[in-house]
Amino acid sequence: MKLSQESEAVVRATSGAVAAHADEITTLFYRQMFAAHPELLRVFNRANQAIGEQPKALAASIVAFAVHLIDPDAPDFSPIMRRIAHKHVSLGVRARQYTVVERHLLAAVGAVLGDAVTPEVRSAWEEVYWLFGCALIAEESRLYALGEPIQNTRGERTVWWSGSRRQKTSSPSSSRPCPDPSLLIGPDSTWRSR
Residues designated as active site: 98, 140
DSSP H/E element including 159: strand 158-159
What does the alpha-carbon distance between residue 108 and residue 100 come to, in Å, rounded to a whole number? 12
Please state, in angstroms and rounded to a whole number, the distance separating the CA atoms of residues 9 and 5.
6
CA angle centred on 40, ends 98 and 110, rounded to 5°: 55
Backbone φ and ψ of 190, nearest 5°: -105, 5
